[in-house]
Amino acid sequence: MEKLIVERDEAGIVWVTLNRPERRNAVDYDVMDALDKVVREVSQSEKDKALVITGAGDKAFCSGGDLQQFHGLYTREEALEMLSKMGGILYKLMTLPKPTIALLNGTAVGGGCEIAAACDYRLAINTAQVGFVQGHLGITTGWGGGTMLYEKLRHDQAMQLLYSAKRYSAEEAHTIGFIHKIIDGDLKLSCRNWIEETLSPRAEVLAAYKKIAVRKWKVTGLQERMREEIEECAVLWEGDAHHQAVAAFLEG
């Protein structure tokens, strides 16, 4: 079974589905490699006009990193290699010169929220929940998601999401500003209609504004700031608090 499904439609929309519903669409190394590949392809393709990331099933968008696989990373150096790999992919996603949409079909927690934060827009089903819950595992955001979130929201809004480490309903996240629109019914159809109504009529203008944003992020050292965030997480990763929290989570 493919862990990442990629589909392209006649409108130039690239639909990427995290396809590990039995693991709540958690990210492992295979998913990283596949996501990196599709982001690079979309960046270089003239036919691809927008990228949508969603999850398989109706329970989870993405639960973050696969703890069963990554729990075996004990040292700072081991963690840093994994965190840097995914952080680099999310930097490419955030600076992709085309519209990117996270379509939250279910719960997005931990690294799942970091993937969503890397996207330009976040649409969610009304039953979705979101939470930067890394604090409960004794670490900070490890893929650069905190840095990206501070670029997307007001300082106080980003602080609330990060420091609380709690889950928010779709409505609460919409009020805070993390979710742009709550949708229901056929999610893919609703998302396609939203793209056609909101983005497509001004595609060239949108592309120009995206370039302005990307230039700003590069000038202000976004990649370096994400790297520093990732290094801070790696230090916490090798601490006893993190390993004990993950062990308790897996046992529970």
Cβ–Cβ < 8 Å for 136, 124: no
Mean pLDDT of the chain: 96
| Stronger pLDDT, 239 or 200, i.e. the higher one | 239
Confidence of residue 42 (pLDDT cuts 50, 70, 90): very high
Best CA proximity match to 20, nearest among 39, 36, 4, 37: 4
What confidence score (pLDDT) does residue 176 get? 97
Q: Would you say residue 64 has pLDDT above 90?
A: yes
Q: Would you say residue 251 has pLDDT above 90?
A: no
CA 62 to each of CA 57, 90, 124, 174, 224: distance values in angstroms, whole numbers, following the listed order? 11, 14, 13, 18, 26
Please state, in angstroms and rounded to a whole number, the distance separating the CA atoms of residues 187 and 206. Answer: 23
CA 187 to each of CA 20, 149, 206: distance values in angstroms, whole numbers, following the listed order? 18, 24, 23
Q: Would you say residue 1 has pLDDT above 90?
A: no
Strands (E), the chain: 4-8, 13-18, 50-55, 60-62, 100-104, 107-109, 121-125, 129-131, 168-169, 181-183
Distance of CA 212 to the CA centre of its chain: 21
> 117 burial class (0-12, 13-18, 19+ CB within 10 angstroms)?
buried
Q: Indicate the range of 4-8, 33-37, 72-76, 121-125 predicted with least confidence.
A: 72-76
Confidence of residue 201 (pLDDT cuts 50, 70, 90): confident
Q: Would you say residue 120 has pLDDT above 90?
A: yes
For 201-238, letters b (16+ CB in 10 Å) and e give eeeeebeeebeeeeeebeeeebbebbbebbbebbebbb
Q: What is the mean pLDDT of residues 166-182?
A: 98
Q: What is the mean pLDDT of residues 107-134?
A: 98
Please state, in angstroms and rounded to a whole number, the distance separating the CA atoms of residues 151 and 118. Answer: 10
Confidence of residue 16 (pLDDT cuts 50, 70, 90): very high
Percent of the chain with pLDDT over 90: 91
pTM of the model: 0.97
4-188 has CATH 3.90.226.10 classification: yes
Q: What is the mean pLDDT of residues 188-211?
A: 91
Distance of CA 75 to the CA centre of its chain: 25
Q: Would you say residue 250 has pLDDT above 90?
A: no
Q: What is the pLDDT of residues 51-60, one digit of tens each?
A: 999 999 999 9
Scanning 153-202, the segments in alpha helix (DSSP H) are: 155-164, 170-176, 187-194
Q: Would you say residue 140 has pLDDT above 80?
A: yes
